[in-house]
Amino acid sequence: MQHLKNPLLKNLHKIEFPVTYLCTGKCRHCSEADKSDFKGHIRGDAAAKLVADVSAVYDIENVLLFGGEPLLYPNDCFLIMSAAREAGVKKRCVITNGWFSKDVEFNCKTAEKLIGSGCNRVLLSVDSFHQETIPLESVMIFANELERLSPGIVKLNPAWIKGKNAENPYDKKTTEIVEKFTSMGISENKGNIIFPAGNALKYLSEYFEPGKEYINPYEEDPMDLRTLSIGPDGSLLGGNIYRENVFDILSRYKG
């Protein structure tokens, strides 16, 4: 069946799912903290169908899962990653804090299943903020297992106030944590610079310049949408994938 492409989506190349807003962490820089009242999670079957349907029409290069902590719902993550692989999507990525259960054996088994389902990149959120509440040892075991099964699959994804070796206590601590992983042979992404939203506004305001306009790096041009972002409740661009055909939602999108 042919679908007319909405011109506002002509550059669409990525589908992302905040799988849930629930999380095992309580990070003081978290931009999503004010969303955690929503206790649900994405339905893997519906999300997998969306990935298959949309990838058949648009040139989707990237499917991304994050949260909250997405691996609190591993089976739904597996379904989505598997659909992405079957659809020929090149980048199939999960962002995780690496601590979704206290059972280390379960976490290692999940690492194996995640790779088996088609995930080919794990961005590991490790830094001074995450490690205030998330035990580093357990995360290292999970990362080690991923790397043992698929060398190079893990990339560190730290959050910084200013950047590596900057003169503030958070970045100094993050630099130390990152070095622990790089000494295990795990490489790092440049990570994210924290912007004032959610918890960061409440707890880290002293690090933001008053009056300065900060740009949310995740904000998209609504007239040239490159990413479809589906909420844990199935919401998408004013519609809902649980109740409607995704192409009905996409075709009525007006920015």
Question: Tokens representing 218?
Answer: 């995740």
CB closer to ligand SF4, 203 vs 253: 203
DSSP single-letter state for residue 190: -
Minimum distance of ligand SF4 from residue 133's CB (angstroms):
8
Minimum distance of ligand SF4 from residue 89's CB (angstroms):
24
Minimum distance of ligand SF4 from residue 54's CB (angstroms):
25
Question: Tokens representing 130?
Answer: 């995450």
Minimum distance of ligand SF4 from residue 239's CB (angstroms):
25
DSSP single-letter state for residue 34: G
Question: Which helix H or strand E contains 252, and what residues bound it?
Answer: helix 246-252
CB closer to ligand SF4, 29 vs 89: 29
- SS3 call for 156: strand
Interface with ligand SF4 by CB under 6 A: which residues? 23, 25-27, 30, 32, 67-69, 97, 125, 130
CB closer to ligand SF4, 70 vs 118: 70
- SS3 call for 202: helix
CB closer to ligand SF4, 71 vs 236: 71
Are 100 and 107 a contacting pair, CB within 8 Å? Answer: yes
Distance (Å, rounded) from C-alpha 55 to C-alpha 61?
A: 9
